[in-house]
Structure 1
Amino acid sequence: MDFVMKQALGGATKDMGKMLGGEEEKDPDAQKKEEERQEALRQQEEERKAKHARMEAEREKVRQQIRDKKAIPAGCGDEEEEEEESILDTVLKYLPGPLQDMFKK
């Protein structure tokens, strides 16, 4: 009859004593194992965060490259007025003194 009960309950016979109020088996290394497990989890989390940070930095680099491609290149746009002023200043440098004074007024 014992054999039939053990087969019917499977591995639950060890836990039956605990459920009925018996004492639990205490593992002397349980505290040490739990600390090691917590340390391993913490290291895994740090590695995951570092990997995520590297991937995000790479993505941002690619995003910036795309933005740079769409940006207006230097020399295009509103800078024409500055170029005209610099051309006028250059021409004035080569004029004789009295003509320069006349254009400056």
Structure 2
Amino acid sequence: MDFVMKQALGGATKDMGKMLGGDEEKDPDAQKKEEERQEALRQQEEERKQKHIRMEAEREKVRQQIRDKYGLKKKEEKEAEEKAAMEAPIEGSLTRPKKAIPAGCGDDEEEEEESILDTVLKYLPGPLQDMFKK
């Protein structure tokens, strides 16, 4: 009967002690194997990243060839041009900023009166010009 029990359990009798909380066998090279495994994972990850960078560079090269062929611009360039166009004052626009109004056009009424008076004085005869200037 013992023979049959040993055959049924096989090598499980050795593991019974571990299951019940006995001491585990420690592999002396376990630490070294774990470090090698971690290094291999890091190396694989680095290779994957390098491959991705190379592929992306090739894709960008093809994209640039297409842009050159059809005269297209990059999205960033388009956005920069649109932003510059929005900032530039548009001639004759009703919504342009006040500081963009050229000098001599607009708010200073005294300047307009002086310029009109000077214009009228130019067409008057000499003695009348002297009277108005005094």
Instruction: Give the TM-score band, short-chain normalised.
Output: 0.5 to 0.7
Largest Rg, 1 or 2: 2
Instruction: Mark the CA change 1:96 to 1:74 in structure 2 (over 3 Å): closer, same or farther.
Output: closer
Instruction: Mark the CA change 1:7 to 1:78 in structure 2 (over 3 Å): closer, same or farther.
Output: farther
Query: Structure 1 residue aligned with 2:127, among 88, 98, 101?
Result: 98
Report the number of matched residues.
Answer: 105
TM-score by length of 2: 0.42
Q: 1:45 deviation in Å?
A: 0.6
Instruction: Mark the CA change 1:54 to 1:23 in structure 2 (over 3 Å): closer, same or farther.
Output: same
Root-mean-square deviation (CA), in Å?
12.5
Alignment deviations for residues 62-96 of structure 1 (CA, whole Å, 9 cap, x no partner): 11111119999999999999999999999999999
Q: 1:17 deviation in Å?
A: 2.5
Which stretches in structure 1 are left out of the alignment for 5+ residues?
Answer: none
Q: Which residue of 1 aligns with 2:57?
A: 57
Instruction: Mark the CA change 1:27 to 1:64 in structure 2 (over 3 Å): closer, same or farther.
Output: same
TM-score by length of 1: 0.53
Among all aligned residue pairs of Structure 1 and Structure 2, give the percentage whose two residues are the same amino acid.
Answer: 96
Kindly indicate which of the two structures has a greater share of residues assigned to helix. Answer: 1
Instruction: Mark the CA change 1:95 to 1:72 in structure 2 (over 3 Å): closer, same or farther.
Output: closer
User: 1 or 2 for the larger relative contact order (CA 8 Å, sep ≥6)?
Assistant: 1
Alignment deviations for residues 35-76 of structure 1 (CA, whole Å, 9 cap, x no partner): 111111111110110011000100111111111199999999
Query: Is the Cα contact below 8 Å between 2:121 and 2:129 reproduced in 1?
Result: yes
